[in-house]
Structure 1
Amino acid sequence: MSLLLLLFVLVYGMAMLFILFYSVAQAHLLYRFRLFLKRGHGATPPAPDVWPMVTVQLPVYNERYVVERLIGAVATLDYPADKLEVQLLDDSDDETTQLIQAKIQQYPRLNLQHIRRPDRSGYKAGALKHGLDLVKGEYIAIFDADFTPKPHFLKRTVPYFADESVGMVQTRWTHLNREYSLLTRLQAFALDAHFYVEQVGRNSLSAYINFNGTGGIWRKETILDAGNWQDDTLTEDLDLSYRAQIKGWKFKYLPEVESPAELPPVMSALKSQQFRWTKGGAESAVKHLGTVVHSDAPLKVKYHALAHLLNSAVFVAVLLASLASIPLLWARVNNQLPEEIFTIGAATLLSFLVISLVYFQAFSREKASFSDRAGFLLYFPLFLSLSMGLALHNAVAVWEGWTGRKSPFIRTPKFNLEAPQHRWQENLYLNLRMPFTTYAEGLLGLLFLAVAVWSVVKGEYGLLIFHSMLAIGYLLVFYYSFQSYKKT
């Protein structure tokens, strides 16, 4: 075996071992989730005799399509008016500000403060920190602009703070536009697995979970004790979550309390969101991994924290494994590698079986009937292919996060689209500049398509499904990207 071929074997093997490491963590979370379903989450705490003061923070920046809907939803919150204040943290530089000023006139009884800063320093983290200096509430609920909190949100979450060790309560995202398109259905498919299996599983283990940036409520004391909002990562929510839990604060996750929100309906918007989440996750890993490893936390907590903080690295592993698999396929066709290597490699593919069970469990929670659940056989391969097709885009984000390359906080455009007949093309916030990685995704799609065809011609089918899914995934990502970036 040549040194170059040995290098490809090592790269492929290490990448697949990392995916196996991650899938073992997922399997444990699935087990804990199943236990949760059997045992339940315990009794809901009683309402307090006197409701505490709560501040609702609404950070917005250029949200002309959704800000009025947001204000209308918050105005329906069922909570004593004298114990509720709302901060509209408005960093906008377009007509959003005028829309806010007009909308709040409709709710004279709502204690709504329209707060403007001189600049966007610190982006969302900076806005939240600025608002925190002005709040009157003991507890801080946060909603992004595309959320529509339900009236019962505060009365369902505030009672959990009777336990003085609880620092944050997170609720489960649901999706206003799940059925808008195939792209939104696949996103819902992915997020449901996080909000059902992962969050529930980690919380039941007393492992670290994360505030998801919105749809949650904090104890003000917790934020300050953990060092306040910081803007040195693109995921200020994940960063603060780890700082707070490392200091000993407990988080509570409530899957039964829903927080409806909008999914990005186009690939360019999805990519901007994915890039921020993935790069921010990598930045948070650099910031917190050492602290977690050297902490006094139980081993199971450390293990799940490692898998949690490094989950964005799965995209790097998929990219490396997919590229290394091409010369390995050539070597197998030409009898250049021992058969044992491929037998061992096949065992690592069990990772995908575990991951499929995680997603099936989440999918089954949303789809009650047998015919609906049968749709999993369609959605999971498509979801997995699309995820593979995002590997290049997200691997670039991970690399930037690991190496400390800084970039601005790019907001995800909001659309207020719930029906398929609504058009996204008129959205003024869409980025119409197609990045170079989109062309690379198209080329990779063609490359893996050619590899799949070549393997059929050679009668070698061991990696055919893998390469076929990569081809479909990259070509789908390229198609949806080209569609959403081009001018219409």
Structure 2
Amino acid sequence: MTALLLVFVLIYAAAMLFILFYSVAQAHLLYRFRRYLKRGSVAAPAAPKVWPMVTVQLPLYNEKYVVERLLDAVATLDYPADKLEIQILDDSDDETSALVQQKIQQYPHLQFQHIQRPDRSGYKAGALKYGLEIAKGAYIAIFDADFIPKSYFLKRTVPYFSDAKTGMVQTRWTHLNKTYSLLTRLQAFALDAHFYIEQVGRNSLSAYINFNGTAGVWRKQTILDAGNWQDDTLTEDLDLSYRAQMKGWRFVYLPEVESPAELPPVMSALKSQQFRWTKGGAESAVKHLGNVLRSSAPLHVKYHALAHLLNSSVFVAVLLASLASIPLLWAKVHGLLPEVIFEVAAITLFSFLVISLVYFQANTQEQGSLFRRLGSFILYFPLFLSVSMGLALHNAVAVWEGWSGRKSPFIRTPKFNLEARDNKWQDNFYLNFRMPYTTWAEGLLGLLFLGVAAWSVAQQEYGLLIFHSMLAVGYLLVFYHSFQSYRKV
């Protein structure tokens, strides 16, 4: 075995071992979720005799398509009007502000505050911090612009703060436009696994979970005790979550309380969101991982925190494993590697099995016959895996920027409200992303893996054929949908 070939073997092995490490954590979370299902529902705390003051914060930046829908939904919250303060944290520089002014006139009985900062410093984190300084509420509910909170939201979440140690209550996202397109279906596929298996599993273990940036309620004292909102990462929600929990605050996750939201219907918007989430996750890992590992937290808490903070790094592992697999395949065909290497590598099939079970469990929670749910899973799961692998290059770049400390601005995900706009996304005023160089690289990678798959068939070597075929499909799908949705400038 040559030195160069040994390097490829070590890269492939390290990447697959990391994926295996992550899969073991997922398997444990799946086990805990199954225990949660068997246990059944637990009675919610009793409603307080006197409802406390709550401030609802609505951070906005140029949301003309959805802001009226948001304000109408918040106005229907079932909560005493004299105990409800609604802060519209409006950083907009377009017609959104005028729409806000018009809409709040329709609700004179509610305490709307239209707050406009002198500048956008700190982006969303800065806006939340700015509003917190003048918030009257002991509890802070937060909704992004694309959410439509249920009227019962506050009365289902606020009672959990009867426990003085509870610092945050998070609810489960559901999807307004899940069936709009293949892309929205695949996003729902991924998010349901997080909001069912991961959040429930970690919460049942008393491990660290994260506030998801919206559709949750904070105790104001918790935010302040943990150091307030900070803008040194792109995921201010994950950052504050870890600071608060390491301070000893307890988080509660409520999968039974649904909070509907819109999924990005086009690839460029999805990539913008994915870039922010993956880069911010890497930044938060750099910021917190050392403190978590040095803390006195139980071993299982540290293990799941490690998997949680490094979950975006799975894209780096997928990218490295996929590229390293090409010379390994060539070496196998030419008899340059001992067969035992590939026999040991078969252990990593455990990772695929675990991921399959996690997504099967999460995506068969919906209503309908078992046959229908199983058929849907068989149809969408391979496509989901392919597209996830096709996003590996884009997200690996984001992770690398997060690890290396390269800073970038907070790029908002454009909202569409397609249900009210005749299902047309092409005329969205905010959809003005320029196509990055990585899109062309995704197309080239798709062709590369297509060629590798064809070559392996010609050589009658089928060990990595499924892997390379899924990579080809994933990269080509991502390239095609990206090319359609970016500005050609």
| TM-score tier (shorter) | over 0.9
Residues of 1 paired with 2:202 and 2:213: CA distance? 17
SS of 1:408's partner is: coil
Shift of 1:372: 2.9
Partner Cα separation in structure 2 for residue 32 and residue 230 of structure 1: 32
**Distance in 1 of aligned mates of 2:400 and 2:372:** 42
Is residue 2:137 matched to residue 1:119? no
Kindly state the Cα deviation for residue 42 of structure 1 after the two structures are TM-superposed: 2.0
**Residue 70 in structure 1 maps to residue 103 in structure 2:** no
> In 2, distance between residues paired with 1:45 and 1:104?
33
Q: Which residue of 2 aligns with 1:464?
A: 465
Structure 1 letter corresponding to 2:285: A
Q: Encode CA deviations 1:296-340: one digit per residue, 9 max, x unaligned.
A: 000000000000000000000000000000000000000000000
SS in 2 for 1:172: strand
How large is the RMSD of aligned CA atoms in angstroms? Answer: 1.1
Contact 1:432/1:487 (CA < 8 Å) preserved in 2? Answer: no
Q: Residue 483 and residue 169 in structure 1: after superposition, are their counterparts in 2 closer, same or farther (change >3 A)? A: same
One-letter code aligned to 1:106: Q
Contact 2:312/2:399 (8 A) holds in 1: yes
State the shift of 1:43 in Å.
1.4
Contact 1:208 1:242 in 2 (8 A): yes
Are residue 18 (structure 1) and residue 38 (structure 2) matched? no
Cα distance between partner residues in 2 of 1:144 and 1:353:
35
Q: CA deviation at 1:374?
A: 1.5
Alignment of 1:365-376 (within 5 A): 365-369=365-369, 370-376=371-377
Alignment correspondent of 1:236: 236
Distance 2:138 2:41 in 1: 25
Report the secondary structure of 2:195's partner residue. helix
Asked whether the 8 Å contact 1:167–1:251 carries over to 2, the reply is yes
In structure 2, how many angstroms separate the alpha carbons of the residues matched to 1:433 and 1:199? 34
Match of 2:255 in 1: 255
Please give the alpha-carbon distance, in whole angstroms, between the structure 2 residues aligned to 1:286 and 1:342: 34
1:394-473 to structure 2, matched below 5 A, reads 394-418=395-419, 422-473=423-474
The count of residues paired between Structure 1 and Structure 2 equals 488
Cα contact 2:434–2:488 (8 A) shared by 1: no
Structure 1 segment 467-486 matched on structure 2, within 5 A: 467-486=468-487
What stretches of structure 2 of length at least 5 have no aligned partner?
none
* Post-superposition CA distance 1:187-222 (Å, at most 9, x none): 001000000000000000000000000000000000
**How big is the shift at 1:487?**
5.9
Runs of 4+ in structure 1 off by over 2 angstroms are 418-421
Counterpart of 1:209 in structure 2 is 209
CA distance in 1, matches of 2:488, 2:435: 10
Shift of 1:142: 0.1
CA displacement 1:149-200 (0-9 Å, x = unmatched):
0000000000000000000000000000001100000000100000000000
Contact 2:15 / 2:321 at 8 angstroms: preserved in 1? yes
| Alignment-derived partner of residue 362 in structure 1 | 362
Q: What amino acid sits opposite 1:124 in the alignment?
A: K
Using the size of structure 2 for normalisation, the TM-score is 0.99
TM-score by length of 1: 0.99
Seen in structure 2, the aligned counterparts of structure 1 residues 367 and 459 have a Cα distance that, compared at 3 Å, is: farther
CA shift, 1:367, in A, is 4.3
Q: Which residue of 2 aligns with 1:158?
A: 158
Asked if structure 2 preserves the Cα contact closer than 8 Å seen for 1:367 and 1:373, the reply is: no
Q: Using the alignment, how far apart are the partners of 1:335 and 1:439 within structure 2?
A: 34
1:432 deviates by 4.1
* 8 A Cα contact 1:180 1:419, kept in partner: no
Matches of 1:300 and 1:8 in 2, distance apart?
A: 32
Amino acid at match of 1:257: V
3-state SS, counterpart of residue 417 of structure 2: coil
Matches within 5 A, 1:61-460: 61-369=61-369, 370-418=371-419, 422-460=423-461
Question: Structure 1: which 5+ runs fail to align?
Answer: none
Query: 1-side partners of 2:186 and 2:421: how far apart?
Result: 15
Q: Report the Cα offset of residue 431 of structure 1.
A: 2.3
Q: SS where residue 419 of structure 2 aligns? A: coil
- Matches of 1:420 and 1:465 in 2, distance apart? 40
Q: Residues 23 and 354 of structure 1 are in contact (CA less than 8 Å); yes or no, is this contact kept in structure 2?
A: yes
CA contact (8 A) 1:449 1:468 kept: yes
Conserved? CA contact 1:62–1:92, under 8 Å: yes
- Distance (whole Å) between structure 2 residues aligned to residue 112 and residue 373 of structure 1: 46
Tell me the percent identity.
81
Query: Helix, strand or coil for the counterpart of 1:349?
Result: helix
Question: How far did residue 416 of structure 1 move?
Answer: 0.4
Separation (CA, whole Å) in 2 of partners of 1:487 and 1:176:
29
Contact 1:55 1:86 in 2 (8 A): yes
SS at match of 1:45: coil
